[in-house]
């Protein structure tokens, strides 16, 4: 606590602070407000147990005089312009005597009087003159010349002070001339000052994120200064700090001093295998003050967000598994199931060929079914076996021409008749395939099975895309496009993905083309509100975007926002896809469209990313109007540019800004 330790020996007296002043929560008062209510509390002061700043003269018992002055919170302490007020205070300083029976003294009634900025110079001059006159300037660096006061006044921080205690012991003449080394307290911050409040995280909208970082977090906090605050992530163990990083945001992302929108930093290990917990806290740049840390969890990177790779790794059955001994009803949600006596014909898979049986069509005690037909000509009826091959026999009630003939057939007969019909159609399809080589002939009889879904909700068309079977996808799409009233082309799986979504995600242009030509609905969105065009613009390789934009119905979706409020232009900028951005702009993408969370245009986003190439692309394509669109925070792109925290492109910014306006005729 002392400026020097030269006099601190085992037998010499020295001054020591035994109770520091409370650093925060005490307000400096102006002269017009009157006296303070309650003195400056001590650091350990509590509601029911008050304490105050206190010093002790060690190795000494007797009369002494203690002088308290306010000094600056700088490396080289200077007298401060603010004044101490209260009992035993005069002209900005406090003087009190330590009685012989006491070894320590406290200061319960100290207040701090805030001087106005215009009076700083005069107050400093008076304070310095008085200190020289009284001899209290020893041991502290004071302004060497009056001329320097103007400079000190401009640089002085009026929101923070320190207490300097100096003790004087009596000499042989009774005067207090034996000075002990002064000691200086911890800084005391004005509670009304912007940078003096206690830092506190009130709420965060997410407390976990991916190791790759870049995820947006909304943080509510007590009052902070936008230019003097950081969001610190750190990890420690028994050996100390092991990792530290800071959230990415600019001063413009601090809203009204009470909210910060930042992006999480990358974790130190991108190959993390299991979730790990770190801490996040606010940190003030000016004094390194920090808030109470809050836990934050980093999760391993999810490579296969759309679960395509997982599905590709799924074990597929062998061809020998399709041996007519029963269907795959256990694998699929749709038609299929137990086997039948007749198998089901070629291509049926042995699973009953997907025949739907109505009530009473199954065995197990069901009543016989009455069949009524009209006889067109006279013909003799043969034996019952002409109409039934099972245990029952048909009884003919009438066989005259033009009259109704009624016969009773058992359920087995009805089922067998249907299976025979299915088998005949399958055989005919097989013959056509053998003659033409067109696989669509085999698929057409199976069209009613196209709606079957596996445990992931994927249809056969989904699986064809997932496993990159382009020919199968093309054939299926052509067959399905000919079916009236069928929506198999647009069926969604459990992740709300259509086959077209998967074709775009896996960047299969031919499959996407086949689906679009077959009539796939390009306006359908997935669980995140992304259409096929949104998904394509999130890929850095822009080939799929240009491919989709060849279709007029896709061009109409360029300005459509997804659930997060981003349209295709915004997503292309965030993906840093220059090729996609050009294709969208050429196709008429509206650069004035604002994303719905903060009102930023694509140009705002490109500026935040400090991406010169994207900005130049805008300049070469559009006119000046988007430069003057403001976000919800009333910010132009130039405002964002000048507040970027990353200065790696600083040498490019000024000439680039000049080019911006020159290209737009400014």
**For 491-516, what is each residue's pLDDT tens digit?**
999 999 999 999 999 999 999 999 99
Say if residue 118 is in the same domain as residue 208: no
> Where residue 295 sits, what CATH number does that domain have?
2.60.40.10
Q: Where a domain ends, among 164, 189, 214? A: 189
Look at residue 502 and tell me if it is in a domain: no
* Helix residue ranges per DSSP H, 378-496: 411-436, 440-443, 460-466, 470-481
Can you give the CATH number for the domain in which 63 is found?
2.60.40.340
Find out whether 265 and 278 touch, Cβ atoms under 8 Å. Answer: no
- What does the pLDDT read at residue 394? 46
Q: Which domain holds residue 115?
A: 14-189
Q: Check: pTM over 0.75? Answer yes or no.
A: no
Q: What is the pLDDT of residue 248?
A: 93
Whether 532 and 504 have beta carbons less than 8 Å apart is answered as yes
Identify the helix (H) or strand (E) that includes residue 136.
none
> pLDDT tens for residues 33-67?
776 667 899 999 988 889 999 999 999 988 999 99
Which of 249, 281, 299 corresponds to the end of one domain? Answer: 299
Q: How many CA atoms lie within 13 A of 641 on its CB side?
A: 22
Residues 214 and 249 in one domain: yes
> Could you tell me if residue 124 is inside a domain?
yes
Residue 378 domain-assigned (yes or no): no
Q: What is each CA distance from 5 to 15, 164, 524, in whole angstroms? A: 10, 16, 77
Residue ranges, the chain, pLDDT below 50: 1-7, 139, 141-142, 145, 319, 322, 324-389, 393-400, 403-404, 406, 624, 647-651, 661, 664-666
Cα separations in angstroms, 240 against 236, 237, 603 = 5, 5, 43
Q: Are residues 138 and 44 in the same domain?
A: yes
What was the pLDDT predicted at 324? 47
Residue 303: the pLDDT is 74
Instruction: Indicate whether 573 and 616 sit together in one domain.
Output: yes
The secondary structure of 370-386 as a DSSP string is EEEEE--S------GGG
> Looking at the domain assignment, is residue 59 inside a domain?
yes
Which single residue is written with the structure tokens 């320097």? 148
- Same domain? 177 vs 95: yes
**93, 68 contact by CB (below 8 A):** yes
Model confidence pLDDT, tens digit, residues 98-144: 988 888 999 998 999 998 888 888 888 887 777 777 766 654 544 55
Residue 168: closest CA among 23, 43, 63:
63
CB 113 within 8 A of CB 34: no
Examine the domain organization and report whether 108 and 155 are in the same domain: yes
SS3 of 28, please? coil
């Amino acid at each position: 606590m002392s400026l020097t330790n030269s006099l601190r020996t085992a037998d010499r007296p020295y001054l020591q602070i035994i109770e520091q002043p409370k650093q925060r929560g005490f307000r400096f008062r102006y002269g017009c407000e009157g006296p303070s209510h309650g003195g400056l509390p001590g650091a350990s002061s509590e509601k029911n147990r008050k304490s105050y700043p206190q010093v002790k003269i060690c190795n000494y018992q007797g009369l002494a005089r203690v002088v308290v002055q306010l000094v600056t919170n700088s490396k080289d302490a200077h007298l401060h312009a603010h004044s101490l007020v209260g009992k035993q205070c005069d002209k900005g300083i406090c003087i009190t005597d330590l009685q012989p029976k006491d070894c320590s003294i406290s200061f319960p009634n100290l207040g701090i009087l805030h001087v106005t900025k215009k009076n700083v110079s005069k107050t400093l001059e008076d304070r310095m003159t008085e200190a020289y006159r009284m001899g209290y300037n020893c041991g502290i660096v004071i302004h060497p010349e009056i001329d320097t006061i103007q400079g000190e006044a401009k640089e002085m921080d009026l929101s923070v002070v320190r207490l300097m205690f100096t003790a004087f012991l009596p000499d042989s003449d009774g005067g207090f001339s034996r000075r002990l080394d002064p000691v200086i307290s911890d800084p005391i911050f004005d509670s009304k000052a912007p940078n003096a409040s206690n830092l506190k995280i009130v709420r965060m909208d997410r407390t976990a994120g991916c190791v790759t970082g870049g995820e947006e977090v909304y943080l509510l906090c007590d009052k902070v200064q936008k230019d003097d605050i950081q969001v610190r992530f750190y990890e420690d163990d028994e050996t100390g700090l092991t990792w530290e990083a800071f959230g990415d945001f600019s001063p413009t992302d601090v809203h009204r001093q009470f909210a910060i929108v930042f992006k999480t930093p990358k974790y130190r290990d991108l190959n993390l295998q299991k979730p790990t917990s770190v801490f996040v806290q606010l940190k003030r740049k000016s004094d390194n003050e920090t808030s109470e840390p809050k836990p934050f969890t980093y999760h391993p990177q999810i490579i296969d967000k759309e679960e395509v790779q997982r599905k590709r790794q799924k074990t597929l059955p062998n061809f020998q598994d399709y041996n007519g001994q029963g269907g795959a009803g256990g694998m699929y949600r749709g038609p299929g199931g137990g086997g039948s006596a007749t198998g089901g014909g070629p291509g049926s898979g042995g699973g009953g060929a997907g025949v739907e049986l109505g009530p009473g069509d199954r065995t197990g005690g069901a009543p016989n079914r009455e069949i009524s037909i009209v006889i067109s000509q006279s013909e003799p009826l043969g034996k019952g076996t002409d109409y039934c091959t099972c245990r029952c026999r048909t009884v003919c009630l009438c066989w005259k021409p033009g009259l109704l003939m009624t016969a009773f057939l058992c359920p087995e007969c009805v089922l067998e008749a249907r299976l025979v019909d299915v088998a005949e159609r399958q055989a005919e399809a097989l013959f056509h395939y053998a003659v033409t080589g067109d696989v669509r002939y085999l698929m057409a009889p199976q069209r009613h099975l196209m709606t079957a879904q596996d445990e992931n909700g994927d249809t056969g068309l989904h699986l064809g895309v997932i496993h990159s079977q382009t020919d199968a996808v093309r054939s299926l799409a052509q067959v399905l496009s000919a079916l009236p009233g069928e929506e198999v082309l647009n069926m969604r799986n459990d992740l709300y993905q259509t086959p077209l979504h998967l074709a775009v995600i896996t960047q299969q242009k031919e499959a996407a083309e086949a689906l679009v030509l077959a009539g796939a609905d390009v306006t359908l969105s997935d669980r995140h509100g992304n259409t096929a065009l949104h998904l394509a613009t999130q890929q850095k390789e822009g080939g799929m975007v240009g491919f989709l934009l060849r279709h007029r119905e896709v061009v109409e979706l360029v300005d459509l926002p997804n659930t997060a409020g981003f349209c295709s232009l915004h997503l292309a900028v965030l993906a840093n896809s220059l090729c996609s951005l050009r294709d969208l702009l050429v196709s008429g993408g509206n650069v004035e469209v604002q994303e719905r969370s903060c009102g930023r245009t694509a140009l705002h986003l490109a500026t935040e990313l400090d991406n010169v190439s994207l900005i130049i692309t805008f300049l070469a394509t559009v006119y000046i109007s988007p430069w003057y669109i403001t976000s919800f925070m009333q910010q132009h792109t130039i405002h964002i540019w000048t507040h970027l925290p990353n200065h790696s492109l600083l040498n490019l910014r000024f000439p680039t800004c000049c080019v911006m306006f020159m290209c737009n005729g400014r």
